[in-house]
Amino acid sequence: MKYIIGIGGVTNGGKTTLTNRLIKSLPNCCVVHQDDFFKPQDQIEVGEDGFRQWDVITSLDMEAMVNTIKGWAENPVKFARSHGVAVSPATEASDPEKEIHVLIVEGFLLYNYKPLLEVYDKCYYIAIPYDECKKRRSTRNYTVPDPPGLFDGHVWPMHLKYRMEMEKSRMAIEYLDGLKSRDDIYNQVHEDIQNTLLNRL
C-alpha cells in the first residue's frame, strides 16, 4: 500500500522540522523536499520591485519534482534503496498490499501546481501569523540570503496570493497551527497518520 502525504504551508511554519521527525517514525518512509527543486539563481526572474522572485511557482522546476514523485510511485522499494532509506521486510510476504510505503512531500507551494493536486492521499498545511513568520524568517540562512525588505516586499505578498488561490481550489486540506509546540504538532500528525494507515490495511 502506497500513501503520499503533503506537508505544505507558509515559509518558516515548521514544515521541515515536522517532516524530519515523521520520516524517522513512519514505516518505509521516503521524502521529497520542494526546496531541492529551486532553479539556479541566474534563472530566477528579477521583478519590477527589484527583488529576485524566489517565491513564485516558476522559480521551481516543478516538472522534475513531479517526475521524482512518479519515480517513487513506480517503485518505492527501489526509490528507498537509492535514497538510503532502510526497507523493512514485508509484514506478510504473501500479501504485498500489507507492505506500507509512505512518501512525504514537503514544501511551501505544494497545492498550487495542477499536476500535483491529485497525487496526495492527505494534505496538511502549517500556518503561522505574519509577525511570527517575519520573526522566524529573520533568523534563517538560505543559500541566497534575503535582501533587506524581501519579506514585506515579496515573500509575504506572494504567500497571501498563493494561499488564496489554494483556498479557492477547495482541496481537502487539514490546517495545522504552527504556533503550537513542535511536540504537539508532531503528536497530532503522527497519530492521525497511524490511524489512517491502520484503517487502510
Ligand X SMILES: NC(=O)c1ccc[n+]([C@@H]2O[C@H](COP(=O)(O)O)[C@@H](O)[C@H]2O)c1
Residue 35 annotated as catalytic: yes
Q: Please tell me the distance from the alpha carbon of residue 98 to that of residue 168, in angstroms, as a whole number.
A: 36
Interface residue with ligand X among 4, 7, 155, 189 (CB under 6 A) is 155
Under the binding rule (CB under 6 A), the answer on residue 99 touching ligand X is no
Q: How far is the CB of 63 from ligand ADP (least distance, A)?
A: 22
- Comparing CB distances to ligand X, the nearer of 35 and 92 is 35
9-28 binders of ligand X (CB under 6 A): 11-12, 15-16
70 binds, among ligand X, Mg ion, ligand ADP, none (CB under 5 to 8 A by kind): none
Q: How far is the CB of 33 from ligand X (least distance, A)?
A: 8
**In this structure, are residues 26 and 17 in contact, taking their beta carbons and an 8 Å threshold?**
no
Q: How far is the CB of 152 from ligand ADP (least distance, A)?
A: 17
- Comparing CB distances to ligand X, the nearer of 146 and 192 is 146
Segment lying near ligand X (by CB under 6 A), choices 85-93, 113-121, 142-150, 191-199: 142-150
Question: What is the set of active-site residues?
Answer: 35
Interface residues with ligand X (CB under 6 A)? 11-12, 15-16, 35, 38, 54-55, 108, 142-144, 155
